Every structure is written in C-alpha cells, then in structure tokens.
Structure 1
C-alpha cells in the first residue's frame, strides 16, 4: 500500500523560484496528509514550454539552482519521494539536454529518466532542444510498492503509429504495481475524452494501473486544463481531479486499486466532459486570466463596435478579470449606425463596465484631406475603409499605453482565415480571445454566456443583427463573404481537416463534397482556399490567440507566406 499526492499546479515559464515555491507548498501538504510520494508534472521546474530559454546560460544556471533548492527541501521531508519534471544534462552526441523525470528523496536523486518520445508536430517542438532518452522502463521501489514512470508523449504511442518505440511494451515487461505519467498536455475541444480513451485502452491492454498527472493554467496561446486522473485495467477511469483549477489530491493504491486518501471509494467520473460552449468559456477565461497576470496586466480594454465579436470579447474579459478591470471604447464614424452605438451602451451597462466615446469622423477627414493634398486624388474605397480601422487601432493603443490596459483584439477564426481584418487596425493588441472560434461558434458562445448568467449580458439585438464592419454605406459582411454557416464548413475542411473531431470532420467533408458537385460551389471553395493562402502574412503579424481547437493559427500551423499554395 502507498499513499501518493497528485500535484496539479499552475506553473509560470521561467519563474524558477515561483515554481519551486509552488512545489514545496504542495509537498508539505502531501507530507502532512501522510503521503509517501508527491507527483509533479512535466518540466514543472521550468514551466512548459521554455523554448529557446533552454539555450540561455543564465536560465540554465537558475534551473540548476532551482533543482538544488528542491533537493534541500526534500532533505527536510526525508520520508517523502518527490517526482519532478525538469531539464537534465545529456552526455554524448546530440542535444545537451533531456526532458527529464527525477525522483528525489532525502536530498538525493534516487531515479533519473529521460523522455523517449519527443513530439515535433502541431504546437510541439521538443526535438529542437532535447535528445531522446534510451529505451528503458524506469521502476522505483517505494516501501513495498514498485512504481514505473513515463513522461507525457511516452504514453501516447501504444498504437505504434507515430514512433518505432512503444515505451508501454518495455513497461509491461518491467511489471510495476502501477505507472505514473507526468504530463504537460495542452487542452483543446475533445482532448480530455481522448486522453481517457487512449490511457484506458493502454491500461487494459498491458494490465497496468496508471496515474496521469497534468499541469493547469494558461501559457501564451495554449491552456492546460489539469483534469489529472487515475485509471485501472478493469474499471477504466476511477478518479479525476478538477478541471481548469489547481488541485492537490492524495490517493491510496492498495491491492491493485486506487482509493481516496482516507480509504473511501473515488466518486464516479463522468464519461462526457463539459459541453462545447462551456468548455470554450472556461478555456478562454483561464487563458486570459493567466496571460494578463503573467504579463503584468491587471486591466483590459476592448474596442466596442456594437457587434457580436467585441460584445463576446468584453463578456469573456469581465468573466476573467472582473468588471472593475475592463473598459470599452466606442469609436463611431460617419458610417456607424445609431443602433450600434446604442447597443454598445446597453452591453456595457449590462456588464457593469465603463464605455468611453471617442469619435473618429474628424480624424478620418483630416487624414483623407491630407492624402488628397499629397497625391492629388481622393481617398476612397478599400483604403478609406482600412483607414478607419487603423485610426481605431491607434486610438485603442493610445488608451493601452496611457492607462496600462491590455488591448484585446476581437477577430474570429472565420474572418482571420480569409483576411477579413485590417492589419495595424482591428488586429492591434496583445491577445485575441475568440480567434480560434468560427463565426457560427461566436454566436453560439454568446447565447451560452447569457444562458449561463441567467440574464441578458450580451443584448439580443447584438446577437440578432446582421454582421457588418460598418466601414462603408450599408455595408454587410455578406457583401464580401458567403454566409457564415457556409464559410465555416469550408474553412473547417480547409484549415483543420482531419484534425477535426470525427463527427465534425465527416460533416465538413460531406458539405464540401456537395459544393464541389456544382460549378459555383467548386468556384467558391477555390476562392476561399486562395483567400486563406494569401492572408498568411496577416496572421503572421497578428497577436497570439487562445487555442481551443486542435489546430489554431499560430505555432501549430506553419505555412510559408511567399509560396504558391494552389
């Protein structure tokens, strides 16, 4: 029998002292609860993922000092085994470091393991910095219990489809009593259910009980949802930690079963996770909260157009930071409708936030007059439309610089995909909250926000109105784009493809197949493909967006700019 504490914590990349303090606090809690082992997550010491900080000698020194501090802390808790993730030195050819797992006890390293499988797909790039470890199955005896260890990706290749090596086979031969997997597994829609499936099947196939410990919190574009769990070969998932929150929980492993630390049976774990819109809201709120905190922002500002995108962004910002820390700015031009300004007033009243009015008509007129003076012809058409967006972007950056607010961009995935946004205008800012949501999902999440609040935060008039940039007389999004339900199905197929959930992919594929059967439909698909391709330069310069889907714009989608795509 062994008592083990799962430490699901919110680390900050590069904050070695802060991360050590979090770990020491959790270890003290584990010791006080009678645990014999406390389990931290992948690269817990440095936070995940440090990127090229790993190449910085000063960072390496701070990391080494942090490990010494953990060894000293473990000496003060001599009966507790600490399982930590940290970069470790690698001797021999290749990279100078491994992505390591260390077991500490009484001031000594009693087990050292190097992660074998290093992902270099989607958002991951571990092979850039780390050398793969040897094909071994590390096992440590703690009391009378034999515990095996893996690091994240090591456990994801049981099908054998991605790598030649399958660490589960070697681990099965080593026959530990149970296996600990330490992870930094980013969250996206359906990821929790996929983890449960993969590791329930692996546990049953190899007759190995497993503990999967994951970190939590937002780091740049990605969000870790926690949701650590325990799985048994015959019973599947028997325990799950809280999602989107820190959680330090002690379990007992006895006679091949996991129990709560007090000996009670764990509660039933739901098969289904959060509904899609509730998941989106939780992920974005945590992502913004941590991004702002880590970057030193307490407040945020959003340009309020009276449209659905800015309305949803404001509602999510209030949920993350509180109404006292969010401000809106309405910037009417000669093309802004009275209804849009009135809707912004109602929205901000509902949210309990200030709305500042900063008209731009006079500024636009001065710019246009100077253009005509310089070039001898009037400013009109698209340049005039973009000028309005760029003036608004400048006004918002003035606010950000003057009052220290984080400027949030309001573009959605549909518009960002096809370049329906203005570089240095509505793309200005530090972070995009809804940039991984298709426009149809923006409407759905807006309705969910109201339903979850039990009242109308986002005015129904905003949800019902036809989308418009309001940069020209009587302008509608449908003047330039197909209806969003059509556009979004094409984009899902073109941008995400097989990375979509199985049902979503089948739907998008069938929709596109139907369009291709008609000449006008085929022409539309080709037009959208070309729009996506030629607007890569805009996405490359846009702010980071919080990732909620398996393939988001950003590090997970690397496309050339100067290329012939089709």
Structure 2
C-alpha cells in the first residue's frame, strides 16, 4: 500500500522562490495526511514554460538555490518522497539543460529522470532549450511499491505515431506497480477527454495503473486546467482532481487500485466533463484572473460599444475580477445608434459596473479638418472609419494610463482571421478574451452566461441585434463579410483543419465541400483564404489572446508576414 498526495498547484513562471514555498506548504500538508509520496508537476519549480528566462544570468543559480531550500525542507519530513520538476544542467555536446524529474527524500536527490520527448509544435518549443534524456527507465521503490516515473510528452507516444522512441514501453519493461507522470498539459476544448483516452489506452495496453498530475493556472496565452487523474487498466479513470483550481488531495494506492485516503471508494468520474460553453467560460475567467494578477493589475477597462463582443468581454471580466474592479467606457460618434448607447447603459446596470461616456464626434471632426488642411484632401471612406476606431483606442489607452486599468481588447477569432479590425484602434489593449472564439461561439457563450446567471446579464437586445461596427451610416458586418455561420465554417477548416474534433471537422468539411461545388462558393473560399493570409501583420501586432481551441493565433500558429500564399 502507498499513500500519495496529488499536488496540483498554480505556479508563476520565474517566481522560483515563491514556487518552492508553495511546494513546501503542500508537502507539509501531505505529511500531515500520512503520505509517503507527494507529486508535483513538470517544471513546477520554475513554472511552465520559462522560455528564454532559462538563458538569463543568474536564473539557473536561483533554481539551484531553491532546490537546496526544498532539500532542506525534505529533511524535516524524512518519511516523505517528493517528486518535483525542474530544469537541470548537463555536460557534453548539445544543449546544456534538461527538463528533469527529481525525487527528493530526507535531504537527498534519490532519483533523477530527464524528459526524452521534447515537444516542438503548436505552443511548445522545448528543443529550443533542452537536450533529450537517455532512453532509460527510472523506477523507485517506496515501501513495497515500485513506482515508475515519466514526464508529460513521454507518455503521449505509446501508440508510436509521433516519435521513434516510446518511453512508456521502456518503462513498462521495468515492471513497475504504478506509473507516475508529471505534466504541464495546456488546456483546450476536448483536451481532458484526449488525455483520458491516450493514457487510458496506455494503461490498458501495459496493464499498469497510472497517476497523471497536471498543473493549473493561466500563463500568458495558455491556461492549464489541472484535472489531474488516476487511471486503472480495467476500470479506466477512477479519480479526477478539480478543474481550474488548485487541489491537494491524498489518495491510497493498494493492490493496483486507487482509493480514497481512508480506504473507501472514490466518487465516480463523469466522462463528459464540462459542456463546451461552460469550459470556455471557466478557461477565459481563470486566464484573465491570473494574467491580471501576474502583470500587477487589479482592475480592467473595456470600451462598451453596445455590441455582443464588448458585452461578453465585460461580463467575463466581472466574473474574473469582480464588479468593483471593472469599468466600461462608451464613446459615441455621429454614427452611433441611440440603441447601442442605451444597450451599454442597461448592460452595465445589470453587471453592476460604472459606465463613463466619452463622445468622440468633436475629436473626429478636428482630425478630419486638420487632415484636409495638411494634405489637401477630405478624409472619407475607410480612413474616416478607421480614424474613429483609432480615436476610441487612444481614449481607452488614456484611461488605462491614468487609472492603471488593464485594457481588454474585444476582437473575436472570426474578425482577427480576416482582418476585420483596426490596427491601433480596436486592437489596442493588453489582453484579448475572445480572440480564440469564432463569432458564432461568441453568441453561444453570451447566451450561456445568461443561463448560468439565471437572469439577463447581457441584454437580449445586444445578443439579437445584427452585428455592426457603426463606423458609417447603416453599416452591417455582412456588408464586408459573409454571414458568420458561413464564414466560421470556412475559417475552421482553413485555420484548424484536422486539429478540430472529429465531429466539428466533419461538419465543417461537409459544409465547405458543398459550398465549393458552386463557382461563387469556391470564389468565396479563396477570398477568405486570401484575407487570412494578408492580415497576418495585424495579428502579429495584436495583444495576446487566451487560447481555448486546438490552434490559436499567437504562439500556436507561426506564419510569415511577407510571403506568397497559394
């Protein structure tokens, strides 16, 4: 029998000393619960992912110093084994660092394992800094239990499709009683179920129980959902930690089965998890909360246009930061409808937040008159439309500078894909909450927010109105774009393709195939493809967005700007 504490913690990248103290607190909690083993997560000491901080002077010395602090603390708990993740130096040719798992006990490092498979795709770039570990298995006996050790990606290749090396099979040959995998697995829609499928299949294939410990928290664009779990070969997933929160839970492992700390049965795990909209909401809220906290912001400001994007952004910001810490600004121009201003008033009343009014008509007029005086030409058409957006962006940045609020940009993935946004205007800000949601998903999430609240937080008048930038008389988004249900299916196929969940891919593929069967449909698809390509320069300069899908703009999609696209 082995008593194990799962330490699912929210680390801050670069706060090595603070992360060490979180580990020590969890280890003491584990010892009080009678645990013989406490398991932390991949690169937990530095936070995942430290990127080029690894190359900063003094960074690795801080890692070594804090490792010494952990070793000292382990002497105070001599019966407890600590499984931690940290970068470690190495000698010889190749990179000078490895992504390592260390087992500490009573002041000593009793096992070391270096990650073999270094992901360099999507949001990952581990080959940039680390050298792969040798093709060897690491097993540690604790009491009567043989514990095998893995790090994240090393467990994802048991089907042998992505790498020539299979660390899981190598570990299985060493005949452990239990496999412990430490992870920093970013969250996206469907990822929890994918983890269960991949590691459940490996557990069945090798007849090995497995404990998968994942970190939690937002880091820049990426959010980690936690959802640590235990899986058995015959029963499947038998334990799951909470999602989107820290969770320190002690389990008992006895004769190949996971039990509650007192030896009783664990509650059943729901295979369905969260519905998609509830998942989006939880991920975005945690992502904003941690981003603001780690960047030193307590408050946020949003430009309230009376449209769906700004309304949803405000509702999510209130959930993440509290109504007392969110402000809205409406900036009507000569083209703004009375309904849009009124809708902003009702929205902010429902959310319990202040709404400031900053009209921009006089500013636009002043710019236009000076433009004509300086350049001998009237400002009209697209330049005049973009001027309004840029003045609004400037006003919001003034507010941010004056009051110390984090400015949240409101663009969605559909608009960012095709460049339906104004650089240095509505793209201004420090973080985008909706940038990985297609417009049709924005509407669905707004409805979900109301349903979850049990009341109309976002006025139905906002949800039901036709989308418009209101930068010209009678303007509608459909003047420039196809209807969003059409656009979004095309975008899903062109941007995410086979990375989509099977059902979503099949639906998008069938829709676009039928569309392309007609000449005008094929022309539309090619037009959208060209719009995506030529607006890469806008996305490169836009604020970071919170990633919720399989392929998000930013670190997960690296495309050239000056290139020819067929």
**How far 1:497 sits from its partner (Å)?**
0.4
Mapped pair 1:428 → 2:428: yes
Number of the residue aligned with 1:538: 538
Alignment of 1:455-534 (within 5 A): 455-534=455-534
How far apart in 2 are the matches of 1:230 and 1:495? 34
**How far 1:91 sits from its partner (Å)?**
1.5
How far apart in 2 are the matches of 1:344 and 1:490? 32
TM-score, normalised relative to structure 1: 1.00
Q: Aligned-residue CA RMSD in angstroms?
A: 0.5
Number of the residue aligned with 1:24: 24
Mapped pair 1:181 → 2:170: no
How far apart in 2 are the matches of 1:56 and 1:75? 31
How far apart in 2 are the matches of 1:538 and 1:59? 34
Number of the residue aligned with 1:561: 561
How far apart in 2 are the matches of 1:284 and 1:473? 34
Number of the residue aligned with 1:321: 321
**How far 1:334 sits from its partner (Å)?**
0.3
Number of the residue aligned with 2:402: 402
Alignment of 1:300-311 (within 5 A): 300-311=300-311
- What do residues 501-559 of structure 1 show as CA deviations (whole Å, max 9, x unaligned)? 01000111111111110000000000000000000000000000000001000101000
DSSP-derived class of the 1:38 partner: strand
How far apart in 1 are the matches of 2:355 and 2:230? 48
How far apart in 2 are the matches of 1:64 and 1:379? 61
**How far 1:143 sits from its partner (Å)?**
1.1
**How far 1:144 sits from its partner (Å)?**
1.3
Number of the residue aligned with 2:243: 243
**How far 1:302 sits from its partner (Å)?**
0.1
How far apart in 2 are the matches of 1:251 and 1:477? 54
**How far 1:199 sits from its partner (Å)?**
0.6
DSSP-derived class of the 1:91 partner: coil
Number of the residue aligned with 2:49: 49
Number of the residue aligned with 1:363: 363
**How far 1:481 sits from its partner (Å)?**
0.2
Number of the residue aligned with 1:142: 142
DSSP-derived class of the 1:57 partner: coil
How far apart in 2 are the matches of 1:373 and 1:473? 25
DSSP-derived class of the 1:110 partner: strand
Number of the residue aligned with 2:82: 82
- What do residues 36-62 of structure 1 show as CA deviations (whole Å, max 9, x unaligned)? 010000000000000000011221111
DSSP-derived class of the 2:150 partner: strand
DSSP-derived class of the 1:470 partner: coil
**How far 1:490 sits from its partner (Å)?**
0.2
How far apart in 2 are the matches of 1:7 and 1:168? 22
How far apart in 2 are the matches of 1:116 and 1:490? 38
Alignment of 1:11-410 (within 5 A): 11-410=11-410
DSSP-derived class of the 2:291 partner: helix
**How far 1:487 sits from its partner (Å)?**
0.1
DSSP-derived class of the 1:298 partner: coil
**How far 1:124 sits from its partner (Å)?**
0.1
How far apart in 2 are the matches of 1:106 and 1:449? 49
How far apart in 2 are the matches of 1:369 and 1:246? 56
How far apart in 1 are the matches of 2:135 and 2:553? 35
How far apart in 1 are the matches of 2:89 and 2:205? 34
How far apart in 1 are the matches of 2:326 and 2:458? 15
How far apart in 1 are the matches of 2:544 and 2:554? 7
How far apart in 1 are the matches of 2:360 and 2:500? 41
- What do residues 269-322 of structure 1 show as CA deviations (whole Å, max 9, x unaligned)? 011010000000000000000000000000000000000000000000000000
**How far 1:90 sits from its partner (Å)?**
1.5
DSSP-derived class of the 1:305 partner: coil
How far apart in 2 are the matches of 1:59 and 1:341? 51
How far apart in 1 are the matches of 2:474 and 2:254? 70
**How far 1:76 sits from its partner (Å)?**
1.1
DSSP-derived class of the 2:28 partner: helix
Q: Which runs of 4+ in 1 moved over 4 A?
A: none
List runs of 5+ in structure 2 lacking aligned partners.
Answer: none
- What do residues 458-497 of structure 1 show as CA deviations (whole Å, max 9, x unaligned)? 0000000000000000000000000000000000000110
- What do residues 191-240 of structure 1 show as CA deviations (whole Å, max 9, x unaligned)? 00000000111000001100000000000000000000000011100000
DSSP-derived class of the 2:449 partner: helix
- What do residues 401-457 of structure 1 show as CA deviations (whole Å, max 9, x unaligned)? 000000000000000000000000000000000000000000000000000000000
**How far 1:17 sits from its partner (Å)?**
1.2
List runs of 5+ in structure 1 lacking aligned partners.
Answer: none
How far apart in 2 are the matches of 1:283 and 1:169? 33
How far apart in 2 are the matches of 1:539 and 1:31? 49
How far apart in 2 are the matches of 1:150 and 1:535? 41
DSSP-derived class of the 2:169 partner: helix
